[in-house]
Amino acid sequence: MFKKKNRIGSEEIKQVLRQGGKMVEKGNIFVFRKNDSGGLRLVVIVSARVVKGAVKRNRIKRKIRAIFNSFLLKNKQLRGDFLVIIRNQKRAERPEMEKDVEKVLENLLNKNKE
C-alpha cells in the first residue's frame, strides 16, 4: 500500500494535470510529472460514472496500486507524480490492464533515461 507521503493531494492533482505529460493507453489516461520529493507518488481516479459500484471502483484502484508496487520493486529509477484516470471499465477489470500499465511505466522509464 502506498503511504500517505506517496499520495498526491487534491490541489496537486490539478498541477499534475496542467504540467504533466499525458499518455492514453486503451482509453485510460496516464499523466506523469517529475517532482522534488524524490519518490513516486500515485493517485488513481475511477469515476462513479464510469464504474458503477464502490466495490468495483476500489478493486480497480487496489489492482493498479499493486501493479505500481510490483513495478517499483523491480525498477526503482522511476520518480515523480503519477496520475491514472480510468475511463474504460471493461479494460480496467481485465488482466490486460496490468500489461497496459507496465507498458506505460516502461515508456516513462525509457524517456527518463534519455
CATH number at residue 32: 3.30.230.10
The tally of domains found in the chain comes to: 1
pLDDT of residue 90: 76
pLDDT of residue 113: 58
Phi, psi of 84 (to 5 degrees): -115, 120
Rounded CA separation 114/98 (Å) = 25
Residue with cell string 525498477? 75
What is the reported pTM?
Answer: 0.80
Domain hosting 52: range is 4-113
pLDDT of residue 15: 86
pLDDT of residue 55: 93
Q: How many residues does the chain have?
A: 114
Which positions ≥6 away from 114 have C-beta within 8 Å?
Answer: none
The pLDDT averaged over each successive group of 10 residues in the chain (114 residues) is 70 85 84 79 88 90 87 76 84 78 80 60
pLDDT of residue 54: 92
User: Which segments of 1-114 does DSSP mark as H helices, in order?
Assistant: 10-19, 54-74, 89-92, 96-113
Bridge partner residues of 19 (DSSP): none
User: Which segments of 28-93 does DSSP mark as H helices, in order?
Assistant: 54-74, 89-92
